[in-house]
Amino acid sequence: MNARVTCDREVVAMDLLESLRMALRSLSANKLRASLTMLGMIIGVAAVIALMAIGQGAQASILDRIRGIGTNLLFVTPGSAQQGGFSFGAGSAPTLTLQDAQAIAADVPNIVAVAPEIDLRRQVVYERNNTNTRILGTTPEYQDVRNFHPVEGDFISQSDIDGRIKVASLGSTTAQTLFDGSDPVGQEIKVAGIDFRVIGLMETKGSQALGNQDDVVIVPLTTLAETLGSQLTPSGGLVVQTINVEVSDESLMPQATADISNLLLERHRVTQADFTIRSQEDTIAALQTVTQTFTLLLGAIAGISLVVGGIGIMNIMLVSVTERTREIGIRKALGAKRSDILVQFMIEAVVVSVMGGLMGVALGVGISEFTSGISLGGQPLRPLVTVDSIALAFGVSAGIGVFFGIYPASRAAALNPIDALRYE
């Protein structure tokens, strides 16, 4: 019994091998037509791999920059202001103060540092150059909490905070715009018409989903409040827009969130939170969802060309069936079964799609390498080719070969041998 099963397997293997040989001979007899048929699959697979590599590269770049700030951060922002039954959106209520930040640093355990901030936009001028940019008022802890340090000169100090000194540290983009590559440290700039002395040049951080981190002027929070205007609570507290909190360990984030929430509820004397606490991981998760959707959209758009390539395979296979009608009739007259004809034409379709898929993979990887470093919207492309995207593109191309090869193969197998022999 086992010998018979082994013999049957050998016969099937030989039949498949012979069908493969016949398929390759048929394709080699029409090299130009076969090449043009494969072209659709080559372009489709290459487009899927290249576009998904660009999308995945953008996702990895954005997430790496966010993680570079640190994953153990909490961001406390105000709640929504209400007037006449209308909400002005999250962050619009003047509910967080500098004193809240100081209380968090003093009373909440497992906190490494706290950096409140006020963020405005103002015109900044140096001689004949000017720009409208972010003016960020904060405290010395900001550089460690947000992992944003000067590469030249100094960051704002506690003495600058206490003395309300008019000093500023410039982001690299702002420095380039104002100083055209010359050294800004020690120079005087005007922020909304007020003189500030530049004491530091910040490292380059690059753009993120929320904007360009390097397009900024960082000044002491108290100086900004005094010179550029500030909002005070009825009790005289200095209103801030965000409180950045660094927790000692990522595992302590939930407990720190609860402790901060309880403290602020008590300080604000409310039962319902008039603030929002977000973690860095929340931001990362949201951006991952957006970037993954973007990558899948790119892949789906490119996948349309694969379908077009599959239609091309079906079209050419139907032409091949028509041209080889007499050959099919002779094979059937000599004893070929319907399954033999079906397998032969299916193999031809799969060979075309698989060979096109392999060439498309090579072309897609090549395009990804070629586009690496090209600037798009001021940011260099960093395509990321993954095994998953290659397997997906190649698998879909092979599947399309099978799907669009079924109808021509079935039509060939269903031909009546007598009618086929009469065909001219």
Q: For residues 412 and 342, is the Cβ–Cβ distance under 8 A?
A: yes
Residue 236 CA to residue 107 CA, distance in Å, equals 21
Beta strands 150-153 and 194-202, pairing class: antiparallel
Predicted pLDDT of residue 185: 93
Which helix (DSSP H) or strand (DSSP E) does residue 170 occupy?
strand 167-170
**Closest C-alpha among 337, 291, 254, 275 to residue 66:** 291
Q: Which residues pair with 376 in a beta bridge?
A: 379
Residue 306 CA to residue 149 CA, distance in Å, equals 48
Predicted pLDDT of residue 88: 42
Half-sphere exposure of 234 (CA within 13 A, CB side): 1
Residue 246 CA to residue 233 CA, distance in Å, equals 26
Could you give the angle at which helices 387-413 and 280-323 cross, rounded to 10 degrees?
30
Residue 361 CA to residue 355 CA, distance in Å, equals 10
Each residue's pLDDT, cut to its tens digit, for the chain (424 residues) gives 554 445 445 545 555 676 667 666 766 767 777 787 788 888 888 888 888 888 888 777 776 766 666 668 899 988 764 444 444 445 456 788 999 999 999 999 999 999 999 999 999 999 899 999 999 999 999 998 888 899 999 999 999 999 999 999 999 999 999 998 899 999 999 999 999 999 999 998 876 545 678 899 999 999 999 888 777 776 778 889 999 999 988 788 889 999 999 999 998 888 888 888 888 777 777 777 777 787 778 777 777 877 888 888 888 777 777 777 777 777 777 777 777 777 777 877 888 888 888 888 899 888 888 888 776 655 677 888 888 888 888 888 888 878 877 877 787 777 776 665 655 5
Beta strands 194-202 and 167-170, pairing class: parallel
Residue 238 CA to residue 256 CA, distance in Å, equals 24
Residue 121 CA to residue 119 CA, distance in Å, equals 7
- Which residues fall within 8 angstroms of residue 181, CB to CB, at 6 or more apart? none
Radius of gyration of the chain (CA): 33
Q: How far is CA 386 from CA 254, 284, 303, 362, in A?
A: 34, 21, 17, 13
Question: How many Cβ atoms from other residues are within 10 Å of residue 161's Cβ?
Answer: 17
Predicted pLDDT of residue 91: 47
Using a cut of 0.75, tell me whether the model's pTM lies above it: no
Q: For residues 260 and 120, is the Cβ–Cβ distance under 8 A?
A: no
Predicted pLDDT of residue 200: 94
Q: For residues 149 and 237, is the Cβ–Cβ distance under 8 A?
A: no
Half-sphere exposure of 75 (CA within 13 A, CB side): 16
Residue 158 CA to residue 31 CA, distance in Å, equals 77
How is residue 30 annotated by DSSP? T
CA angle 227, 231, 234 (to 5 degrees): 135
